[in-house]
Amino acid sequence: MSAELTPAGLREIAERFRERHRTGALRAVMVAGSGIRLELPGWEAGEEIALAEVFPFRLHELVGHRQTMTLWRRGQETILAMNGRLHLYQGYSPAEVAAPVRLAGLLGAELMLATNASGALDPDIPAGSLVVVSDHINLQGFNPLVGEWGRSFGPPFPDMSEAYDPELRRLAVAAAAAAGFAVREGVYAAVLGPSFETPAEVRMLGQLGGAVVGMSTVPEVIAARQMGMKVLVISLATNPGAGLVDRPLSHEEVLEAGAAAADNLRVLLGLLVQRMFPGP
Ligand code: HPA
C-alpha cells in the first residue's frame, strides 16, 4: 500500500519509530552511498529495519542499493544508518528522498554523516580518491523545502553559507591522514541524472568550481541544515568525468570502483565516529 508523505504524517512515523525501536539518544544519521557496509567500533549493529515498514510511499528498486536502515547501539545511544539511499532520479520526490534524514532529525539527531559516489571533474582527482565536500552547487532543479515542507521543520529560508561544517571537515581530513588515505576538499556539483554528464557538461561543471559531480545527497543536506543538523559529506570519486578519458561510463564501473574503495571508506567512517563520539 502506498500513500503520500506529509509533514504531519512524518511526525507520527517518528513517534511510532521512537517507541517501537527505543531510539534513546540518537546521535547521528549516516547515509552510505553505493556498496558501503558500515563497521562502527564500540557500537553494535542492532535491528535492520526495512524502509517499507517505516515509510508509506512506494519504493523503487535499484541494483546495488539496499532498502533498509540499521540502528546501531552503544548503551542508551543510537546511530541510525541508511543502507543505501533514495535518489530523485529513481522517481522519488524531494520530500521522500529527505524523509530518513528528517526522521532522524525528529528523533534528536544533531549530525548527518553521508558518503556518495561521484565523477571527478578535475583530472588531478584520480578514480578512487576521497573528497571531503566543502560546499555544493545544486543543479538538480529540486529543493526539499518547497511548499509546506519548508514551513514545517525549521526556518523557511535556511542559511547555507556553512552547510558543510568546517570543524567536521577538519576532523575528517585529520582522520583520513591518520588512516593513511590522501583526501582533498572540494565542491560537489549535484545533477539530477540518471544519464551521466556529457563531456561539455563536465567541462562546464569544472569551470563553475565543481571538483566532483554526483546525483545525490543535496536534498538530504538541505533538509538536515533546515533542522539545524551539522553535516559532513565524503565523496568517493569512482571515475573520471565523461570526456576526461577516452571511454564510456557505466553504472557497473561505478559499483566496482565503489566496492574496491569501500574498505578505505569503511575504515575512515569507523575512525570518524570514534573521534566524534568518544564515549563514556
Ligand atoms: N557522474 C554523476 N554521478 C556519478 C558519477 C558521474 O560520473 N560517478 C558516480 N556517480
CA 77 distance to own-chain centroid: 21
Nearest-10 crossing angle of helices 251-276, 166-179: 100
Q: What is the CB neighbour count within 10 angstroms for residue 95?
A: 24
Best of 65, 196, 233 for a ligand 1 pocket test (most atoms within 8 Å of beta carbon): 196
Ligand 1, atom nearest to 249 Cα = 7
Each of the 280 residues of the chain gets a pLDDT tens digit; together they read 577 899 999 999 999 999 999 999 999 999 987 567 788 999 999 999 999 999 999 998 766 667 899 999 999 999 999 988 899 999 999 999 999 999 999 999 999 999 999 999 999 998 888 999 999 999 999 999 999 999 999 999 999 999 999 999 999 999 999 888 879 999 999 999 999 999 999 999 999 999 999 999 999 999 999 999 999 999 999 899 988 888 777 788 777 777 777 888 889 999 999 999 998 7
Ligand 1, atom nearest to 241 Cα = 7
> Is any ligand 1 atom within 6 A of the Cβ of residue 270?
no
**Is the Cβ–Cβ distance between 216 and 115 less than 8 Å?**
no
Q: Domains plus CATH for the chain?
A: 7-276 (3.40.50.1580)
DSSP string, 133-159: EEEEEE-SS--TTTGGGGGTSS-SS--
Average predicted confidence (pLDDT) for the chain? 92
Ligand 1, atom nearest to 191 Cα = 2
Best of 249, 252, 253 for a ligand 1 pocket test (most atoms within 8 Å of beta carbon): 249
**Is the Cβ–Cβ distance between 115 and 106 less than 8 Å?**
no
Rounded Cα distance, 32 and 26, in Å: 17
**How confident is the model over 101-118, as pLDDT tens digits?**
999 999 999 999 999 999
**Is the Cβ–Cβ distance between 221 and 231 less than 8 Å?**
yes
What's this model's pTM, rounded to 2 decimal places? 0.95
**How confident is the model over 153-175, as pLDDT tens digits?**
999 999 999 999 999 999 999 99
Q: Give the residue, by CA position, lying nearest to ligand 1 atom 7.
A: 119
φ/ψ of residue 70, rounded to 5 = -115, 135
> Is any ligand 1 atom within 6 A of the Cβ of residue 212?
no
- Site of grid cell 535491528: 47
**How confident is the model over 84-100, as pLDDT tens digits?**
889 999 999 999 999 99
